[in-house]
Structure 1
Amino acid sequence: MEDEPSEFTRRLHAGFGVSASTVVETARRATGEGVRACERIVRGHVNEVYRVRTDSKTFFVRIDRSGDADFAAEAWAMGEARRVHVPVPDVVLVDRARDDEEELPVMVLSALPGRPLADVEAELSPVRLRAVLTDAGRLLATLHSVRTPGVWKPEADGRWNTWDEIRDGVLAERRSERPELRSAGLSESEATVVLELVARCVDEYPWNDPVLCHGDFVPDHIFVDDDLRITGLLDFGMFHGGPPVSDLAYLRLVRPDLNQDGLLAGYGVSAEDREWLRQRDLHAVTHAVGYVAHSVRVGNAVQTAAYVRSLRSLVDDLRQRR
């Protein structure tokens, strides 16, 4: 939920960093070319990312710092997207790299042509923005044509869980985050209402037919050319098997200011479909609880406040839509 790196993000990234020689060697190993330039990109809270210019092309070197990333699974998701003609970066390398005494997971990707929609969004008229968002909705519908073997992400042994296997755990985890909701500024009654909405979402909308969800479907990750044609979708690090509504629910949470009518039109959903909007917003509330809790735990006050504002807006919208 940040256009430029926040102070929190800068402090986080200042606490780690591999040597330049490790980045250069990883890029050389992946591409077989010499490295002419290397620039660190301070964004996000999970990966260390470098833009690398070789003799002929631009690549991105991503280094997992969370211990949670599964670059092989992410490469699988990107391959599935490519199979249905969703343009994504080429995966050049998935491996491990040694830096001093650490051995870290690395992924090297080709650069997409164009630039993020987020970079030009403010310059566009409402009509032009709606047009490109309609195209983005069509692209998302295509991505969601991919069925996943199960829900969420594959286990270490490659097995996917069913919704019945994780349902109770999802609900229990969200309920366990009541203290973080209270720490974020929600009253006891607000937290109770929010968790009742989560329970309603889990009960009424099971993930019985999971599809490939991008997980972070925002304008920052939708690339366009100078004519506003979509050139690709990047950053599948938060991909998962889930309900089709999940990606637009996440977008509703992190970009409450963005009018989704164009996206919905491209996706094939009417903006007047109250039941679909209710399902989206209940899923967004469920997302929100986890994100508020995480932001509280890591001490990101700015992001916590933004999530809480969005969460309260969602609760109000659901109340009015009864």
Structure 2
Amino acid sequence: MGKKEVPSLPSVQAWLSAYFPDADWPIEREQSGRSTYVFRIRTGEENLYLRILPEAEMSFGVEVHAHELLRRKGVQVPEVIAYENYAEALGMSVMLVREMTGGSAGQADALNRIDYENVMRAAGRQIALVHQVPVDGFGWIRRGREEAADGLHGENHSIEAYVNEGLEQDLGFLSEELLHGYEISRIRGVLETGLPWMSRHEARLVHGDFDDSHIFQDRGSYTGLIDFGEMQGSSPTYDLGHFKLHDGQRFAGYEALTAGYGEVTPLTPDDQLEISLWALWIGVRRLAVAGRRPPGSYRQHLTKAVRQELDLLGSRLYPFFCYFPEASIHLLAGY
């Protein structure tokens, strides 16, 4: 899937002038966007953010639809004020949104622990509402320009296909670079044994990159969620697993987050087990990506977190093996 070059500032200004012909607002490129090109527009009263999809054949239509569904449910996500399935002037799909008040909870140096936990609790209630939105299928939400903006469709029809797609390749790479052979065997066994837990739910909308960097707050009060560019159809516990995997890079907020989540959707012991399974699975997939890049703190964090979840799941699944001892062959392989 080819990517188009970042559009020039004059071309972005020309596109904006079609919507605001009398405006002469400063525009600057934001470097934080990973899956999209992002430009900040300073209007004087507020900032607007223009997001542009690099893939010419892709569209923001489904994401705009998701934002509308979420806002109707009371989820605080950025308001979309302009959208084009295909902007002729730029050759790509574009979406213009209002700025979310405040800043990222993960980067708020003045935020103390109590305020941080209160923000995480509110975010937990909000992400539980996100997970009430059904999706047809699992995996990345299809975003082709031809996709209708009245439904959310995952790329895979089954959770098994979603979980196993690319997993063996990632484990093979990690066995050569970052993890011991016995750890790879244990991961393979835990995920194979845990698949029934990971398959308990119908597909729901998940943020896909849910951590405190995408949770916004203003002076200790929660203000919203941003960046659904990696949204997927998955188990509703996926996002909680992703958050748990990344928790503690600044403050520990997982307990507060799940407490807030439980106020909307109570979490059972099976849910807690499934959260750890998703944390392990996501950790493996992310570590395989990070392992191909220069060493850094994120890779170190992922390696430590994967090992912690692997040990935790081994102890949690032990009673299961007492009733199904043949499964322990897979889990304990390599010891």
Q: Same fold (TM over 0.5)?
A: yes
Q: Is it true that 1:58 corresponds to 2:47 in the alignment? A: yes
Q: Which has the larger radius of gyration?
A: 2
Q: Is it true that 1:170 corresponds to 2:163 in the alignment? A: yes
In the TM superposition, what are the counterparts of 1:179-190 in structure 2 within 5 Å?
179-190=172-183
Deviations 1:185-222 (A, max 9, x none): 11111112112222233233215422221122222222
Point out where structure 2 has 5 or more consecutive residues left out of the alignment.
Answer: 319-335
Q: Is it true that 1:36 corresponds to 2:25 in the alignment? A: yes
In the TM superposition, what are the counterparts of 1:218-297 in structure 2 within 5 Å?
218-226=211-219, 228-257=220-249, 258-268=252-262, 274-297=269-292
Give the distance between the partners of 2:196 and 2:23, measured in 1 at CA. Answer: 55
Runs of 4+ aligned residues of structure 1 deviating over 6 Å after TM superposition are: 269-272
Give the distance between the partners of 1:57 and 1:123, measured in 2 at CA. Answer: 22
Which of 137, 146, 149 is residue 133 of structure 2 equivalent to?
A: 146
Q: Is it true that 1:71 corresponds to 2:42 in the alignment? A: no
Aligned positions, number: 303
- Return closer, same or farther for 1:108/1:149 CA change in 2, 3 Å cut-off: same
Residue identity in the other structure for 1:41: E
- Return closer, same or farther for 1:271/1:260 CA change in 2, 3 Å cut-off: farther
Please state whether the residue corresponding to 1:241 is helix, strand or coil.
strand
Please provide the CA RMSD for this pair. Answer: 3.0
User: TM-score scaled by structure 2?
Assistant: 0.79
Give the distance between the partners of 1:222 and 1:97, measured in 2 at CA. Answer: 30
Q: Which moved more, 1:132-141 or 1:46-55?
A: 46-55
Q: Is it true that 1:83 corresponds to 2:75 in the alignment? A: no
Conservation of the 8 A alpha-carbon contact between 1:116 and 1:224: yes
Q: CA deviation at 1:116?
A: 1.9
Point out where structure 1 has 5 or more consecutive residues left out of the alignment.
Answer: 1-14
Give the distance between the partners of 1:150 and 1:132, measured in 2 at CA. Answer: 31
Please state whether the residue corresponding to 2:138 is helix, strand or coil.
coil
Deviations 1:53-75 (A, max 9, x none): 13654211122236686421211
Conservation of the 8 A alpha-carbon contact between 2:48 and 2:99: yes
User: TM-score scaled by structure 1?
Assistant: 0.81
Q: What is aligned with 2:188?
A: 195
Please state whether the residue corresponding to 1:93 is helix, strand or coil.
strand
Percent of aligned pairs with the same amino acid = 24
Conservation of the 8 A alpha-carbon contact between 1:97 and 1:106: yes
Please state whether the residue corresponding to 2:75 is helix, strand or coil.
coil
Q: Which moved more, 1:134-143 or 1:169-178?
A: 169-178
- Return closer, same or farther for 1:176/1:271 CA change in 2, 3 Å cut-off: same
Give the distance between the partners of 1:181 and 1:250, measured in 2 at CA. Answer: 19
- Return closer, same or farther for 1:230/1:260 CA change in 2, 3 Å cut-off: same
Q: CA deviation at 1:249?
A: 0.5
Conservation of the 8 A alpha-carbon contact between 1:151 and 1:207: no
Q: Which moved more, 1:71-80 or 1:162-171?
A: 162-171
Q: What is aligned with 1:108?
A: 96
